[in-house]
């Protein structure tokens, strides 16, 4: 389950919690959760002014929208977020469209425009059915495997002791798979395999529409076996300090995993 990723503009834009704009939004969320909405709004607007590319602007506009007092202002910011998401139009934002359309529909309904509300609800329904990501997909582990092997569900969780996983988790972002490999149980070398789903898959509900809209980490899960078709050896590796910090964060996390 990838939880930390690299920001690049090679094939896709990629979400990264260490990106300055994303960090500013995380600070704003903390302020909102601690009961300081004014400071949260200031931080989200600061993130908007600091944003330099479409993905950063999409994320910042989304959070500015959420903290507007009037429906008209909220609609304007959600439509701004949608414009940048449409400009990106790849796996980093596809899963966010359903949420964006639903928010816009709700604004139009509150503003007394049922026709537009119906339009955006229908758009949301059209994109909410299943992930549109075509990969390639990766799985990070410490297991020594080879092309043709099958990964199957029913193994212990790397993150929640005592939990047997009902799904196999994978990602379309190689650096996320690399981070998952670093966190994986076992003493083997960190391995990132190229995998192919043999059945249907879904967005990982443990990350989708949680802190950020949609599934920006492009994390998925399936109950069907995953076939290994190759291996990659190059990805951005995290420092031992970063890995330890994340392990400590996991140890303190009392939340339930959606299994």
Same-domain pairing of 153 and 116: no
Total-model pTM: 0.77
Same-domain pairing of 154 and 224: yes
Phi, psi of 140 (to 5 degrees): -100, 135
Q: Show which of 94, 127, 160 is a domain's final residue.
A: 127
| Mean pLDDT in residue range 45-74 | 96
Q: Show which of 104, 127, 150 is a domain's final residue.
A: 127
Domain containing residue 99: CATH number: 1.25.40.10
Per-residue pLDDT of 186-231, as tens digits, reads 889 999 999 999 999 999 998 888 888 888 889 999 999 999 999 9
Domain assignment present for 6: no
Same-domain pairing of 155 and 119: no
Same-domain pairing of 141 and 123: no
Domain assignment present for 1: no
Same-domain pairing of 142 and 245: yes
Band of pLDDT at residue 54, cut at 50, 70 and 90? very high
Domain assignment present for 156: yes
Degrees, nearest 5: CA angle 20-25-31: 130
Enter the tokens of residue 106. 């709700």
Domain containing residue 170: CATH number: 3.20.170.40
The structural domain count of the chain equals 2
Burial class, 102, CB count within 10 angstroms (exposed 0-12 / middle 13-18 / buried 19+)? middle
Per-residue pLDDT, 9: 35
Same-domain pairing of 167 and 91: no
Q: 134's torsion region: left (phi>0), alpha (psi -120 to 50) or beta?
A: alpha
Structural domain including 216 reads 137-252
Given a cut of 70, is residue 80 above it in pLDDT? yes
Considering 7-16, 77-86, 215-224, the range whose residues carry the highest mean pLDDT is: 77-86
Per-residue pLDDT of 87-102, as tens digits, reads 997 877 888 999 999 9
CB 183 within 8 A of CB 159: yes
CB 97 within 8 A of CB 85: yes
Given a cut of 90, is residue 159 above it in pLDDT? no
CA–CA gap between residue 47 and residue 31 (Å, rounded): 14
């Amino acid at each position: 389950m990838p939880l930390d990723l690299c920001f690049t503009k090679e094939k896709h834009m990629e979400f990264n919690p260490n990106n300055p704009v994303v960090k500013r939004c995380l600070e704003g969320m903390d302020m909102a959760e601690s009961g300081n909405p004014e400071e949260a709004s200031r931080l989200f607007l600061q993130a908007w002014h600091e944003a330099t590319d479409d993905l950063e602007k999409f994320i910042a506009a989304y959070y500015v929208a959420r903290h507007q007092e009037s429906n008209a202002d909220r609609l304007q910011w959600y439509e701004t977020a949608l414009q940048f998401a449409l400009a990106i139009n790849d796996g980093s934002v596809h899963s966010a469209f359903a949420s964006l359309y639903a928010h816009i529909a709700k604004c139009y309904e509150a503003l007394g425009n049922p026709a537009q509300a119906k339009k955006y609800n229908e758009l949301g329904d059209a994109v909410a059915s299943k992930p549109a990501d075509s990969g390639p997909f990766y799985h990070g582990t410490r297991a020594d495997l080879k092309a043709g092997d099958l990964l199957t569900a029913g193994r212990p969780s790397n993150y929640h002791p005592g939990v047997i996983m009902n799904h196999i988790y994978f990602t379309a972002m190689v650096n996320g798979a690399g981070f998952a490999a670093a966190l994986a149980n076992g003493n083997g070398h960190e391995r990132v395999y190229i995998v192919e789903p043999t059945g249907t898959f879904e967005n990982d509900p443990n990350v989708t529409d949680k802190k950020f809209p949609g599934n920006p980490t492009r994390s998925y899960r399936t109950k069907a076996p995953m076939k290994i078709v190759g291996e990659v050896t190059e990805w951005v590796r995290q420092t031992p300090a970063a890995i330890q910090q994340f392990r400590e964060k996991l140890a303190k996390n009392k939340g339930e995993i959606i299994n």
